[in-house]
Amino acid sequence: MVPEMQTNIDQGKCSFVPRSPFPVLLSVPAFFALSFALCAISHAATNDNDHGKESVERQQKIDIDRFYASRDGKAPMTPMAIELYNDAVKFFEKNEFELARDALNESIALEPRNALAFELLGEIENLQQNFEKAEYYYKRSYLVSPSTRLREKIEKIQKENAVEKNLDTYDEEHFIIKYQKGEEGYEGSWLKSMLQETYRQISQDFGQYFNHKTAVLFYEGDLFHDVTGQKDFVGGLYDGKIRLPAYKQGFREQDLRSAATHEMTHAFVASLSGGRAPAWLHEGLAQYEQNKIKPVDLLVFNAAIRTQTLMSMNRLLSENLDVEKMDPLEVALFYQQVFKLVSYMVDRYQMYRIKEILIKIKEGKPVEQAIEEVLLISTAQLEKEWLATLK
């Protein structure tokens, strides 16, 4: 999420994808007992050269699972349902939605009261803008296992569907673009060109390309805040979809490009890290790309240097760091400090190594370990050397 930078340091909260939103099930008791809070949907993309091979191998694995599942009960049904669901989560994290659907449908065939599988099917349809199907699957999940989370999902998708019925659609290779037709300067073809330019720049920087389509929604200002529930000063949101208040009064073309760059970078980071990248790395990279369009304000950061009140590396890496609970001045410092820190890392070690760090995080390694393995330096030494450059 990109907050609009204002002279009074009024900042928005950070929206990022901390980890994969769906659990991998390991046992029958866990399958029925797990209760979990879902975060924004993670996205991951395979390297184009490996994508076809991996897809074939995974399809073969599903076929093998189906074969053993049909052997007159010789293979246990519920464990097989769990295994298929686990496969679906992995496919989902790589945006291989068709393979995920196949695995989920097979899992449900073996275990009809598989609430998690229904919910994941709802997420897939939601990301692909199939709201009626998404609502259907959310409701099926809710009937099996009612929860406040699912009720909120159902209410939210009903609200989104009502709003998006009035939006036009412009489909292209990488995006499903929803926009308000007739708004001067923001017709579908212009928005398409702007997004393509943004995508081209970020994909070149990361050496990464989407193997799926991402929904990008351009709202009138009030509708943006009504649908997302964000505060007035928030200038964009990534929650599996890129959401931008394009028609907000005073929102200039540079502001739109800047916000689009910021949120699209979140999509790339989520893709590369499997949704596991920490807040500081998410926001640092998003602002690094955004800065190419619109310079990041460093007023609070510069003041913190003078007063020696920068946030420590330990705090930035803390799993307990909650940007939403910080006061506006702390949020401003967080955004500006992680921008400067990540910019230093990219300039010194190059983006391809940052990409390697994200991939290791996706593999499940703690961020400190990923940094040490790729950069051959501890986080403490990294902080020390970066601070030395500030002096």
- pLDDT digit string (tens) for 342-385? 999 999 999 999 999 999 999 889 999 999 999 999 999 999 99
Please check whether residue 21 lies inside any domain of the structure: no
Higher pLDDT, 60 or 97: 97
Rg (CA), the chain: 22
Angstrom distance (rounded) from CA 289 to CA 201: 9
Q: Are residues 277 and 294 in the same domain?
A: yes
Angstrom distance (rounded) from CA 296 to CA 312: 21
Angstrom distance (rounded) from CA 40 to CA 264: 14
**CATH code, domain with 380:** 1.10.390.10
Q: Among 11-15, 108-112, 196-200, 247-251, name the one with the lowest average pLDDT.
A: 11-15
Q: Are residues 243 and 385 in the same domain?
A: yes
**3-class state of residue 277 by DSSP:** coil
Q: Are residues 352 and 375 in the same domain?
A: yes
pLDDT digits (tens, 9 = 90+) for 225-258: 888 888 777 789 999 999 998 876 667 888 899 9
Q: Are residues 195 and 153 in the same domain?
A: no
User: Which pLDDT does position 351 carry in this prediction?
Assistant: 97
Closest by Cα among 229, 267, 214, 228 to 16: 267
- Tell me how many domains the chain contains: 2
With vertex at residue 27, the alpha carbon angle to CA 364 and CA 74, rounded to the nearest 5 degrees, is: 125
Q: Are residues 213 and 314 in the same domain?
A: yes
User: Which pLDDT does position 249 carry in this prediction?
Assistant: 62
pTM for the structure as a whole: 0.76
pLDDT > 70? residue 212: yes
Q: Are 113 and 81 in contact (CB under 8 A)?
A: no
Please check whether residue 13 lies inside any domain of the structure: no
Would you place residue 285 in the very low, low, confident or very high pLDDT band (cuts 50, 70, 90)?
Answer: very high
Q: Among 11-25, 82-96, 291-305, 306-320, name the one with the lowest average pLDDT.
A: 11-25
Final residue belonging to a domain, choices 136, 164, 192 = 164
Q: Are residues 190 and 290 in the same domain?
A: yes
User: Which pLDDT does position 43 carry in this prediction?
Assistant: 36
Phi, psi torsion values for 178, nearest 5 degrees? -115, 130
pLDDT digits (tens, 9 = 90+) for 295-332: 999 999 999 999 999 999 999 888 778 877 888 899 99
Helix 279-290 and helix 328-349, axial crossing angle in degrees, nearest 10: 70
Final residue belonging to a domain, choices 164, 195, 216 = 164
Output the furthest CA–CA distance in the chain (Å, rounded): 74
Would you place residue 196 in the very low, low, confident or very high pLDDT band (cuts 50, 70, 90)?
Answer: very high
- Alpha helix stretches (DSSP H) within the chain: 28-33, 48-69, 77-93, 97-110, 115-127, 131-144, 148-164, 188-206, 221-228, 253-273, 279-290, 299-307, 313-317, 328-349, 351-362, 367-375, 379-390
Could you please report the per-residue DSSP string of 156-169? HHHHHHHHHTTSEE
Q: Are residues 361 and 246 in the same domain?
A: yes
Closest by Cα among 28, 38, 20 to 114: 28
Q: Residue 282, exposed/middle/buried by CB under 10 A (0-12, 13-18, 19+)?
A: buried
User: Which pLDDT does position 16 carry in this prediction?
Assistant: 38
pLDDT > 70? residue 18: no
Closest by Cα among 284, 299, 263 to 358: 284
Would you place residue 38 in the very low, low, confident or very high pLDDT band (cuts 50, 70, 90)?
Answer: very low
Mean pLDDT, the chain, whole residue set: 81
Q: Are 92 and 125 in contact (CB under 8 A)?
A: no
Angstrom distance (rounded) from CA 181 to CA 166: 9
Angstrom distance (rounded) from CA 377 to CA 372: 5
Would you place residue 5 in the very low, low, confident or very high pLDDT band (cuts 50, 70, 90)?
Answer: very low
Torsion of Cα atoms, 219 then 225 then 231 then 236, to 10°: -30
Higher pLDDT, 369 or 57: 369
Please check whether residue 35 lies inside any domain of the structure: yes
pLDDT > 90? residue 137: yes
Q: Are residues 268 and 291 in the same domain?
A: yes
Q: Are residues 50 and 193 in the same domain?
A: no
Final residue belonging to a domain, choices 164, 185, 218 = 164
Would you place residue 1 in the very low, low, confident or very high pLDDT band (cuts 50, 70, 90)?
Answer: low
User: Which pLDDT does position 67 carry in this prediction?
Assistant: 54
Q: Are residues 50 and 181 in the same domain?
A: no
User: Which pLDDT does position 3 carry in this prediction?
Assistant: 41
Please check whether residue 199 lies inside any domain of the structure: yes
Q: Are 334 and 281 in contact (CB under 8 A)?
A: no
Domain span at residue 185? 168-390
Would you place residue 277 in the very low, low, confident or very high pLDDT band (cuts 50, 70, 90)?
Answer: very high
Phi, psi torsion values for 171, nearest 5 degrees? -95, 140
Helix 115-127 and helix 77-93, axial crossing angle in degrees, nearest 10: 20
pLDDT > 70? residue 108: yes
Please check whether residue 9 lies inside any domain of the structure: no
> Letter for the amino acid at 171?
D
The rounded Cα 205 to chain-centroid distance in angstroms is 18
Bridge-based pairing of strands 214-218 and 237-238 is unpaired
- Residue 54: CB atoms within 10 Å: 15
Angstrom distance (rounded) from CA 209 to CA 268: 8
pLDDT above 90: percentage of residues in the chain: 52
pLDDT above 70: percentage of residues in the chain: 78
Q: Are residues 126 and 187 in the same domain?
A: no
**CATH code, domain with 67:** 1.25.40.10
Per-residue three-class SS string for 342-356: HHHHHHHHCHHHHHH
pLDDT > 70? residue 102: yes
Angstrom distance (rounded) from CA 45 to CA 97: 11
Please check whether residue 100 lies inside any domain of the structure: yes
**3-class state of residue 224 by DSSP:** helix
Please check whether residue 8 lies inside any domain of the structure: no
Q: Are residues 94 and 34 in the same domain?
A: yes
Find the mean pLDDT for residues 93-106: 91
Please check whether residue 3 lies inside any domain of the structure: no
For residue 41, what are the contacts with CB-CB under 8 A and spacing of at least 6?
A: 17, 21, 123, 126, 127, 239, 240, 275
